[in-house]
Amino acid sequence: MIYRVAIALTMMSILRIPWFVEQPASSLMEWHPAFQHLCKKFTVYKVFIWLGSYGGECPKPTLIYSNYRFIEKLYLPLPHGRKWQAEMSVKYVDNSGVRRVSGGRDLKASQHYPRLFGAAFAQLYLSEQAGVRTEIQRQKILSYESMNAQSSFRMREQVVIYSGHDFNTQDEAGRSRRTHEALQGLR
């Protein structure tokens, strides 16, 4: 499954589409060769968060990976002195004397995100998109001014807008080559 996720994230990174992946803090995903390959080819940000900091019923340590740096702003320290009521795990010793751990009665209920986390994530994402839109407008104005200032317009100076990001058209020509190279590394 991680292999398929890494292929999807690679394609999204090539197309400069924002992506976010949430994993439990105990996840081994970042050590998978396909995910490591993705991290070598593209910038990937990781932030450790506590869902309990956002009103969750348990601390629930969580990792978020993204190609957007703003996820670093999601970190909040875990509130001190709070009594966590949820029973996430049960430790016991079985009949043969081996220590065991199993899911507690509240584990299933912890699958959903706290509302405050959703609100914080949406607010950060929308403010980031507003900043990207402002930069796009600035680039469009600069591009338009440069077109009017020159008698002959060169294609390589045109700014192309795709999925909230801007890049030069000469970058466009290398896209299929980069796609092929990135996917070759995942095999």
What pLDDT is attached to residue 82?
82
Q: What is the percentage of the chain residues whose pLDDT exceeds 70?
A: 70
Answer for the pair 68, 45: CB distance below 8 angstroms, yes or no.
yes
Please write the tens of the pLDDT for every residue from 54-83.
988 888 899 999 998 888 899 888 888 888
Where are the chain's structural domains? 2-78+88-186
Average pLDDT of span 96-125: 88
pLDDT tens digits, one per residue of 12-37: 999 888 899 999 888 999 999 999 99
Buried b (16+ CB within 10 A) or exposed e, 72-100: eebeeeeeeeeeeebebeeeeeeeeeeee
- Pick 105 or 94 by higher pLDDT: 94
Closest Cα partner for 187 from 2, 3, 1? 3
- pLDDT bucket at 138, cuts 50 / 70 / 90: low
Best-predicted range by mean pLDDT among 35-44, 127-136, 151-160, 167-176? 35-44
Q: What are 117-120's contacts with CB under 8 Å, separation 24+?
A: 117/49, 117/51, 117/54, 117/55, 117/56, 117/74, 120/54, 120/74
Whether 126 shows a pLDDT value over 50: the answer reads yes
* Residue of 138 and 154 predicted with greater confidence: 138
Q: Is the pLDDT of residue 161 over 80?
A: no
